[in-house]
Structure 1
Amino acid sequence: MKNFLTFFVLFWSFIASDQLGTECPADKKAVVCYWGSWSIYRPGLGNYKIEHIDLEYCTHFVYTFAGINLNGVIDSLDYHNDINLGGYKKVIALKEQYPCAKILLAIGGWNEGSEKYSFMAETEERRKAFVESVVRFVIHFNFDGFDINWEYPTERGGVDSDKENYILLLQLLHSELSKRKRILTAPVPANLYIISKAYEIEEMCNYLDLVNIMGYDMQQRDKTSVHAPLKRENSDPSKKETLETVVQHLLKSGCSKSKLVLGIPAFGRSYTLYSSYSSGLGALVKGLGKPGNFSQSEGFLGYNEICEQVRSENGWKITYLRNSAAKYASKGDQWISYDDAETVQQKVRFVKEKDLAGIMFWSIDTDDFHGDCFGESYPLLSAINRELY
């Protein structure tokens, strides 16, 4: 009997300690990792499979993108990948290994446009039908939350009433998702004109659990410029916004710092220079830079493409802009603005100084997930985690 009691106590002590070991820290800074699910179609070493996902680096993981169908409700944009190949199911299964991670489904994105979201949000009836479909979708596929990536209210075919209708939509989404213990997040662009025109900041932040600042794509079109500047360089006379000014504006407009998440890019923006003899900031350009082998898109290079080029090809000149927390590289007529481990850590220190909610990362599939450049897989995400925790 004594031996049985000893075993009983030890057994339940083990169970209790195991359960305590998986308790999720409530005050941990967020690392929100977006995944572009279309990256499974990239060629060669750029091909990113679900098997590559490592949630050790992420507190939140966002599967992108669902869309709106002709009936005005949520639907998969890639039924083959999401359903037939089991994309949704496989990503949710990662929670068995990482029970503290929150896995969200995002709707929208740049390619989805704005107009059909504007139309959906225009009437109470259409908003309710959409929200009901979202809740059903999230519950059915067992996501922990929903990310509404409408880019952007009042813009790109939207109407002025989107600003008010967006708040009504968020209010309804928050009401229906929160009662089922699901979270609601959304991004905002790092563009003060769009922010002022499209959003009632204080009300928006009241209904969202996290507000992800898209801290990138701030470059100019006609001359070289940094696409994710933290602060303005001393030599820069322009009044163009920086991530610092965007954060300041959102805080002054009534958004709590406990909800603001600063976005960091795992990609660069590139140009083709007008003259290879003029390659500093503000140099004239002919157009977008050459496409990479993986992303195959002019003017865009994943960090995995950038670090491989700069590491393996001689002749690249790299400049570190310390105020901007950014780097640019030039060779011949090609010019790239990007972040690396050093600049990423600088931005994380800014988040800690301002006591913001955390970091957002776009996107996990363009980090050097193979570790080809420096022998460490996910060097940017690793740098974020090292500096944050």
Structure 2
Amino acid sequence: MAISLFTSILLFLLQVCFSDDEKKVVKSSYWFFDSAYPLSNIGSTFYTHLLCAQAFVDPNTFQLNISNSKTAQPSYDLSIARGIADDSALSSMASNASTRKTFIDSSITIGRSYNFHGLDLDWEFPSTTTDMTNLGLLFKEWREAVEKESKNSNKPQLLLTAAVYYSSVFCSLSYPAEATENNLDWINVMAFDFGAPTWKPNLTEAPAALYNQFSEVSGDSGISSWIQAGFLARKIVFGLPYYGYAWKLKDANNHGFLAPANGPDITVDGALEFRVVTKKLVQFIAQNITITAFNSMLVSDYCYNGTTWIGYDDVQSIYTKVTYAKGKGSLGYFSWQIDLDYNWTLSKLNRLKLMNLSFSNIFVLVSRFLNSLL
């Protein structure tokens, strides 16, 4: 009887823990409508949300335009970016109540028309105090409109999310943290692009360092900034890059982080690029006599071959960051972007990490239960 009781309780705990991970943890990634990576190839067990990029704000009408409606599918969220022809489209749209309403109404219409579950705003980045104020107003009015539409249509509310700077402060401008938290379901914190050879050409960098003893810029400092601004950790989704950057070393024998460099290396794998996606990186390492290294202080990887040096996130970095996000109490993680992964390596890793954490929770709960019987 005791064994049967224990077994049934263990099965219940398994169900509870896995349902928490499956239903409450956000595991998301961005995917482009015109991607060569078809939706049918995406492992649905790896992600809870796909952010379909991108819809654009028309700089003249301020309505939302979707680039390719034929590829819009149910169960996904729509990512909204600035207008193609005018970088100030979002700023202009948010500048008064009338244009904000035009945008909001059109976004809800498109969201419902193509059975999206939510809408994600990718404004990179509000550049004035007025922009930040208007962003807060936009979020408030957007939430009110989504609630009203849900009541009228008797459908679940559309999710509202936003991609934001790694820190709550951008160029000395503070995000409207309170309005953002009150009105969005979560924020996607872009904890990457901290260093690239185009704007930091003279020294190699960790493009997405979790910690950084050499700089105030890191994933941890950014998350801490959002929390210190009063933003709830459980509404933060941590960003993971599925790409890195390539520098050209000045000296092949000096090849660590902050090594002297001569700007971008544009010859990786024969491509005229310095932004190296995971797929291409795996091929580069396999085809060349390449040395790889992991720096636990920064939580970042790099590899080098001759004077070619690439900073990126590999398995150990991603694993550590998912652990960090979980430990901070954050809602989950997102990756930029899904079709850059190689053979689902990083996507599988993230799911495995969450499962391992679930088993840890099970052992704690079982231990507490057994102690209660003594």
Q: Give me the TM-score of the superposition, normalised by structure 1.
A: 0.78
**Are 2:71 and 1:87 aligned?**
yes
Distance 1:142 1:24 in 2: 24
Aligned partner letter, 1:209 = D
Aligned partner letter, 1:104 = D
Give 1:185 shift.
0.5
**Are 2:189 and 1:200 aligned?**
no
Give 1:150 shift.
0.8
Q: Does the C-alpha gap of structure 1 residues 291 and 109 become closer, same or farther in structure 2, counting only changes over 3 Å? A: farther
Aligned equivalent of 1:151: 124
2:83–2:90 Cα contact (<8 Å) kept: no
Q: Does the C-alpha gap of structure 1 residues 28 and 160 become closer, same or farther in structure 2, counting only changes over 3 Å? A: closer
Deviations 1:45-90 (A, max 9, x none): xxx22222222111111000110123111102x3xxx23xx211xx
Q: Does the C-alpha gap of structure 1 residues 308 and 349 become closer, same or farther in structure 2, counting only changes over 3 Å? A: same
1:145–1:177 Cα contact (<8 Å) kept: no
1:33–1:61 Cα contact (<8 Å) kept: yes
**Are 2:309 and 1:320 aligned?**
no
**Are 2:270 and 1:299 aligned?**
no
Gaps of 5+ in 1: 1-19, 41-47, 93-101, 372-377
Give 1:273 shift.
2.2
**Are 2:218 and 1:228 aligned?**
no
My pick for the range that moved more, 26-35 or 219-228, is 26-35
Aligned partner letter, 2:40 = E
**Are 2:138 and 1:169 aligned?**
yes
Q: Identity, % of aligned pairs? A: 23
2:25–2:332 Cα contact (<8 Å) kept: yes
Distance 1:113 1:225 in 2: 31
Aligned partner letter, 2:278 = Y
Distance 2:341 2:286 in 1: 15
Q: Could you say what secondary structure the match of 1:308 adopts?
A: helix
Deviations 1:235-280 (A, max 9, x none): x4x3332111111110110111110011111111121223323322
Give 1:24 shift.
7.0
Aligned equivalent of 1:266: 242
Aligned partner letter, 1:288 = P
Aligned partner letter, 1:117 = L
Give 1:198 shift.
4.9
Aligned equivalent of 2:106: 133
**Are 2:26 and 1:30 aligned?**
yes
Distance 1:258 1:290 in 2: 40
Q: Could you say what secondary structure the match of 1:318 adopts?
A: strand
2:139–2:179 Cα contact (<8 Å) kept: no
Aligned equivalent of 1:56: 45
Distance 1:386 1:345 in 2: 9
My pick for the range that moved more, 191-200 or 281-290, is 191-200
Deviations 1:305-348 (A, max 9, x none): 1112112322x121211122210011122111111122111111
**Are 2:221 and 1:245 aligned?**
yes
Aligned equivalent of 2:79: 106
**Are 2:50 and 1:75 aligned?**
no
1:113–1:151 Cα contact (<8 Å) kept: no
Aligned equivalent of 1:96: none
Q: Could you say what secondary structure the match of 1:327 adopts?
A: strand
Q: Give me the TM-score of the superposition, normalised by structure 2.
A: 0.81
Distance 1:109 1:127 in 2: 14
Give 1:39 shift.
2.8
Q: Could you say what secondary structure the match of 1:161 adopts?
A: helix
Gaps of 5+ in 2: 1-14, 151-156, 356-374
**Are 2:340 and 1:366 aligned?**
yes
**Are 2:353 and 1:387 aligned?**
yes
Distance 1:307 1:104 in 2: 29
Distance 1:192 1:142 in 2: 32
Q: Does the C-alpha gap of structure 1 residues 251 and 191 become closer, same or farther in structure 2, counting only changes over 3 Å? A: closer
Aligned partner letter, 1:166 = L
Root-mean-square deviation (Å): 2.4
* From 303, 306, 309, the counterpart of 1:329: 303
Distance 1:111 1:273 in 2: 35
How many residue pairs get aligned? The number is: 326
2:120–2:161 Cα contact (<8 Å) kept: yes
Give 1:219 shift.
0.8
Distance 2:208 2:85 in 1: 23
Q: Does the C-alpha gap of structure 1 residues 193 and 271 become closer, same or farther in structure 2, counting only changes over 3 Å? A: farther
2:167–2:221 Cα contact (<8 Å) kept: no
